[in-house]
Amino acid sequence: AKTSGKGRCEVFQPSHHADHLDRERLQADLYQALERQELVLHYQPIVDLAPRRISGYEALVRWEHPTRGMVPPVQFITLAEDSGLIVPIGRWILREATRQAAAWQQPDGRGPRMSVNVSVRQFQHPDLVDDVTEALRASGLAPDRLTLEITESLFAEDTAGTTQKLEALKALGIRLALDDFGTGYSSLSYLRRFPIDVLKIDKSFVHGIATCSEDRAVIGAIVALGQILDLVLVAEGIETADELAALEQLGVQYGQGYHLGRPGPPQHASPAAERRRSG
């Protein structure tokens, strides 16, 4: 949220709808994108704030379109969901992100975590648990290094199926994070009901933190909730030193955002590259 003239907090609403024809053209191209290896993953650091150490990375998909250049995920994830292509694309993302994370592990078995976004339709597909199992097997990544990021929209329908699947995923030994926390279907009961380990505080609250006392209060309440329910908190979208300082003061342990590190290709994001940068 942002503060407007009279100290009110506004909610920022991005609009990402390509026009109809454009959607159809992109959709057709997307069918070939996987096969032609036009999809790539970028990685953004997730930082443990007190020691200021990279704890892991979030994988963010990019489409290097042959004529349009880099197409951002907001423009094609919805298309992929609508067409069902999200299932093979999501499977590839899981494979690639776990392969990369495994390559970044150190010989002593320690190394960065990897967070992978899972969209609703991909989650609901009957193959999801098998796809995650297979990605872990093929990469050799220890399950506790993998976090799947899901959104509150999963809980809107819900039901036994969702609970069962979340529990099957937890049984693999991975972690589950609730993405964009605070923006979606808001019932707190599901935090007790579902096996969630991590809350990612949505960037709309983070952007308001330095100027908007309501946003600060909301984050304070999320911190208290996190302590009661034993959840790990990650603040998203940290863009300034002031936002970072305010979050640390409120007791948020992990952060992510342009101020801490932008998403980049693997050679840019690798732990070795981070060590080079910090000297």
Instruction: For residue 58, give the DSSP letter.
Output: E
Q: Does 215 bind Ca ion (CB under 5 A)?
A: no
Q: Which is nearer to ligand C2E, 36 or 227 (CB)?
A: 36
Q: Does 152 bind Ca ion (CB under 5 A)?
A: no
Rounded alpha-carbon distances, angstroms, from residue 6 to 9, 115, 206, 243: 9, 39, 19, 21
Distance (Å, whole) CA 118 – CA 177: 10
Distance (Å, whole) CA 219 – CA 204: 11
Q: Does 60 bind ligand C2E (CB under 6 A)?
A: yes
Residue 72: contacted member of Ca ion, ligand C2E, none (CB under 5 to 8 Å, by partner type): ligand C2E
Distance (Å, whole) CA 35 – CA 12: 36
Q: Does 177 bind ligand C2E (CB under 6 A)?
A: no
Q: CB 108 → ligand C2E: shortest distance, Å?
A: 29
Q: Judged by CB under 6 A, which of 72, 84, 161, 173 binds ligand C2E?
A: 72
Q: Judged by CB under 6 A, which of 91, 125, 145, 203 binds ligand C2E?
A: 203
Which of 92, 36, 31, 100 is CA-nearest to residue 61?
A: 92
| Tokens coding 32 | 């070939």
Q: CB 64 → Ca ion: shortest distance, Å?
A: 21
Q: Does 257 bind ligand C2E (CB under 6 A)?
A: yes
Partners of 235 in the β-ladder? 201, 255
Which of 147, 34, 171, 46 is CA-nearest to residue 97?
A: 147
For the segment 37-96, give every residue that binds Ca ion (CB under 5 A). Answer: none
Distance (Å, whole) CA 268 – CA 88: 26
Q: Does 93 bind ligand C2E (CB under 6 A)?
A: yes
What is the per-residue binding string for Ca ion in 221-260, x denoting contact by CB under 5 A? ---------------x------------------------
Q: Under rule CB under 6 A, how many of the chain's residues touch ligand C2E?
A: 21
For the segment 219-238, give every residue that binds ligand C2E (CB under 6 A). Answer: 237-238
Reported residue count of the chain is 279
3-state secondary structure of 146: strand
| Tokens coding 179 | 């993405």
Q: Which residues bind ligand C2E (CB under 6 A)?
A: 44, 59-61, 72-74, 77, 93, 117-119, 179-180, 203, 237-239, 257-258, 263
